[in-house]
Amino acid sequence: MKRFRQYRTNAAVRDKYADIHLNAQDFIYPYFVEEGEGNVTPIPTMPGINRYTPDTLLDDVKETLELGINKILLFGVIPTSEKDEQGSAAYSDHSLIVRTIKTLKEKYPALIIITDVCLCEYTNHGHCGLLHDHDVDNDTTLPLLAEMAYQHALAGADFVAPSAMMDGQVEAIRKKLNETPSLKTKILAYSAKYASAFYGPFRDAAESTPSFGDRKSYQMDFRTRNQGLEEIAADLEEGADWTMVKPAMPYLDIIARGKEQFPDIPMVSYQVSGEYAMLKAAAQAQFLDEPRVVYESLIAIKRAGADYIITYYAKEWLKKWNQ
Ligand SMILES: [Zn+2]
């Protein structure tokens, strides 16, 4: 008989054998930025999460840094009146995100800024690329994503994170960035991004619900075992520096297999809005003990193989529960 219970005798013994731990450096904190001044707008489907204008964002990032989180992910939210068919506001050289990066970098030069690169928050139809006959056209979208990434890089982004799930998007961005060798911006590819119902609350936050159809013709079908790994391999070949699996909890197998296959590539996973909302709602209904289920969920993502976790819980975790 093997005496496993010797590892669990009391809290100190359990702590000694625990080999997965969470640190502030593991977290990437997502932010929604909107135009305007002085506003902090709560997102109803994501209790505790807000949209910030560039000035209020500065204050919140100060607190984020003080908690030890040094990596943030930026999403832009623009007024409907500024959206158009081509998502022009996404790739202009004075876009909301370009201005936000500059403001942040001026105040916090050590902050690592990752920017989402996709058109869906900027197109009036809410799809991630250009439309052609009611279909999202892959190849004409690529130069626009590349230009968007390039503008973010010029403004000072440390990472650009293409999330449109267009084929060849990483290569298009890599080529564009390479035209200016002084740019040190890296690519964090949303490689295995599944067409997930867990994105629901995010679309409220970013006002990016498609006006027709869905994203299943470009985001991945979750009924596939190996496509996620093929997507990761292709992105790395195209020049991605880091890779991502999104969402996290329903895709722990993909995180684990991705990390096993590419052990030297930093693996990021995104605990998405729906995962957050689900835990929040269960906690509010007092069905679950929030700190404990959050801890268990984040540890599971790290144990599966994620080096970094994008989570809306990062600040709350560090502020209230991490002891
Ligand atoms: Zn998109």
Catalytic member of 176, 193, 302, 315: 193
Q: How confident is the model at residue 134 (pLDDT cuts 50, 70, 90)?
A: confident
CA–CA gap between residue 64 and residue 69 (Å, rounded): 6
Looking at residue 126, which CATH number applies to its domain? Answer: 3.20.20.70
Residue 299: is its pLDDT beyond 90? yes
Please answer whether residues 72 and 30 qualify as being in contact, where contact means their C-beta atoms are separated by less than 8 angstroms.
yes
Predicted local distance difference test score (pLDDT) of residue 15: 94
Predicted local distance difference test score (pLDDT) of residue 286: 97
Please answer whether residues 61 and 72 qualify as being in contact, where contact means their C-beta atoms are separated by less than 8 angstroms.
yes
The answer to whether residue 193 is catalytic is yes
Predicted local distance difference test score (pLDDT) of residue 202: 85
254 in a domain, yes or no?
Answer: yes
12 in a domain, yes or no?
Answer: no
State pLDDT tens for residues 278-292.
Answer: 999 999 999 999 999
**Ligand 1 mean position to 169 CA, how many Å?**
12
Q: How confident is the model at residue 323 (pLDDT cuts 50, 70, 90)?
A: low
Number of structural domains the chain divides into: 1
CB atoms within 10 A of CB 143: 13
CA–CA gap between residue 303 and residue 255 (Å, rounded): 10
10 in a domain, yes or no?
Answer: no
1 in a domain, yes or no?
Answer: no
Residue 148: is its pLDDT beyond 70? yes
**Ligand 1 mean position to 219 CA, how many Å?**
9
14 in a domain, yes or no?
Answer: no
Residue 8: is its pLDDT beyond 80? yes
**Ligand 1 mean position to 148 CA, how many Å?**
13
CB atoms within 10 A of CB 84: 13
Average pLDDT in the chain: 96
Average pLDDT over residues 86-93: 97
314 in a domain, yes or no?
Answer: yes
Helices 96-107 & 138-155 angle (0-180, nearest 10): 30
The answer to whether residue 216 is catalytic is no
**Ligand 1 mean position to 126 CA, how many Å?**
8
5 in a domain, yes or no?
Answer: no
**Ligand 1 mean position to 323 CA, how many Å?**
37
Helices (H), the chain: 11-17, 54-66, 96-107, 138-155, 169-178, 200-206, 227-238, 252-261, 273-284, 290-304, 314-316
Catalytic member of 246, 280, 302, 315: 246
Give the residue numbers spanning the domain of 122: 20-321
State pLDDT tens for residues 219-252.
Answer: 999 999 999 999 999 999 999 999 999 999 999 9
State pLDDT tens for residues 171-217.
Answer: 999 999 999 999 999 999 999 999 999 998 888 787 778 888 889 99
4 in a domain, yes or no?
Answer: no
